[in-house]
Structure formats: C-alpha cells, structure tokens
Chain A
Amino acid sequence: MSSTEHRTEPDTAAPPRDTPSQHVAYHPSAREYIRVGLLLVALTSIEVMLSYSSLTGVKLIASLFLCTIIKFVLVVGYFMHLKFDNGRFSRVFALGAIGAFTLYAVVLLMFGVWRTS
C-alpha cells in the first residue's frame, strides 16, 4: 500500500478553523524523543539499582519517588506533548492527577499507613 493513500495537501492549505490554540506549536524531533527515551531507561536503571542498594527506609522511598516523578513529568511533558500544547490540557490533566494524589494521600494518612510501613 502506498504511503500516499491519504490525502496530502501542502502545509499552507490549512483548514479555516485551524488556529494556533488547536495544535501543538512545536513537535520535538525523533532525535529528541530518543534522547528522552534513553533518559527514561537510565532513570529506570537507577531505580532498580537503588532497590538492590543498601539504602533503606525514607531515603530509599524518597530516591525512588524522585526518579518516578522525573519519569512521569518526562513522559507527560514530551511524549504526551503537554509541555508544548495548549495550557488548558495541562490544567485538565493536573486537576485529575493532583486531585487524585491529594485525595488518596489524605486517605492513606487517615488510615495511618505511614506508621505501619
């Protein structure tokens, strides 16, 4: 099947309602994506090494969560394009993510999970 089966129009022939607010203004190149991917692999490797290290308790959990948060932000920011997309999408997602984190952190505190762990 030919790769030109879809209609290909010149970039200048944008649809009438095509405004900057509807599209990602900037898309990273494949090379940038690969760099982000390698960074994710490196961070995951660090996490696995930390789990086998002599670190324990709060230090281990804090180090693991730091790596997790960086990985989360990299995927959401670059792979899901929130870094380059309309800010409203970021706010919608942040509402869910931060709302869920806050809600369940309160639940865990109420049940005293930090004391039992």
Chain B
Amino acid sequence: MSVLINKNTKVIVQGITGGMGRTHTALMKKYGTNIVGGVTPGKGGTEQDGVPVFDSVSEAVAKTGANCSVIFVPPYLCLDAALEAIDAGLPLISVITEGLPPQDAVKLHAAAKLKGTLVNGPNCPGIITPGECLIGIHPGSIYMPGRVGLISRSGTLTYEIGLGLKQSGIGISTAVGIGGDPIIGIDQIVSLDLFEKDKDTDLIILVGEIGGTAEEDAADYIKANIKKPVIGYIAGRTAPAGKRMGHAGAIISGNKGTAESKTKAFTNAGVKVAMTPSEIVELVKAHVPATV
C-alpha cells in the first residue's frame, strides 16, 4: 500500500506534446508509471512516446479509464486545463506548473472543492510511490521503496532527503511534493491524514519552510490526530523577513511565518525537529531499523 498513487493508477498527461510534457512523459514511462494517454487540444489521434493523444480530458478518460491527470501546461492555460480535468471527474490531479497567478489558483481550488477532486500542487514536483508509480518530475532513482511517508513543500529538498534515506538503506512509502505556492490543494494535513491511515507507513517526515502558517496548523492537527511518529524540518530559518525566498509562499510577512514559530509548534506537538537535512536521516534511523 501507499497513499494517493500506486501500481494501479492510470495516468493521463495534459500538455503531453509540450516540452516539459514530452520530457517527463518519457521519464515517467521509463520509471514504470502506467501512462494511458495524453491530452493536447488539436492533436487528438496522434501519438506521443507510444501514448495515444486525445483532444479532451473527457475523451481520454472515456477511452482509457484514467483516474489521475498530471498537468504540464503553461501558467496561463493551466486553470483551464485543471478545470477540464475536474469537470471530467478525475479524482486526483497533479499540477506541476509553476507561476500560476494566485487568482487562478483560487478558482482552481474552489472548483476542486465543489467536486471533491484532490489537487496536488500547483508548483510542485508531484508524487512518487517508489517502485510503483511516479507522477510529476521527481527523479525516480533517488528513492527506494520502504515505510517512511514524506511530505514536502519543496522539490529538490525532497530529493535531498530521499537520497539521504536511500544511502542509509531507508525507503519511503510515498513522497508527496505538496508545492511551494501560498494556496495549494493537498496540504500537510490532508497528507498526514492519508499517511496515518496507510498501514504500510510507519513514520512521517514533514518538510516545511518559512511563510504562512501551514506548519503551525499541521502541528495542531498532529497533536490531536496523528499517532505515528513525525519528524519535522523547516527550511529558511536564516532567511531575512520580507523577502520572497524563491517559492511564492516562502516569505515572512511581518512576524508571521517564521521558522521559530513553526519549530515551536512542532516541538509542542511532539514532533522531533531536525536542524539539518542529514539530521532528518539520523532521526529516522533512531525509529526504523536500516533494513527494509
């Protein structure tokens, strides 16, 4: 088992004929993801990388039985693509696109909420269940299968931790890259809840960063609802206030969103907080024997 995606997930790629879409369709296929189709309006009937391309999401779903879409379309076309996927009834969509204007993000998440669609992202690396399914842009070889659940706002920092774990012989059940934007779909709390219920996850790593109050909210949730051990990390503890640190959401505004406040919230909730990425691996080792 795992969360959100597994070997039975049937994936379509929206924007499959664009640069990002082509590159990552090939990589996802190589990893073993069951890519059943792609969507690029106007290119229906063609093939990309041996995958049939459709003009619309509903057609792709009808013909392939897809239950997940990963979206690689440019920012200003992204809302339309995501709304189409939501409308077609897909239960899970992953929006990799970076730079979606916030007002579009609001509309996207409002539509998803109405329909009960789970939206991963935007501005995220996607999700990977090692050995089974990869949606998005995670470098698959960096993770090994195992029993640690990984939740992270960052892409490359997630890879860093996945790699460190692998080098110590520790694998993960699923890594959920939730995304670096201020407004995201599947957040820390949704992911925590999924991992708590997953019988093949023993421990959860929560990688946060400065900005917003999502980590504080997650800490409250952990205290009340999560019984599995959680290890936390906050990136940006030395970031200056008022500066956007790469991610649209990584900014300390006034006195809100500081690493101190997040660390304190984690500690109060019984979450062990690592000060460096390598310390995360050490803390995991203390819980999990280095055999999987």
Q: Do A and B bind each other?
A: no
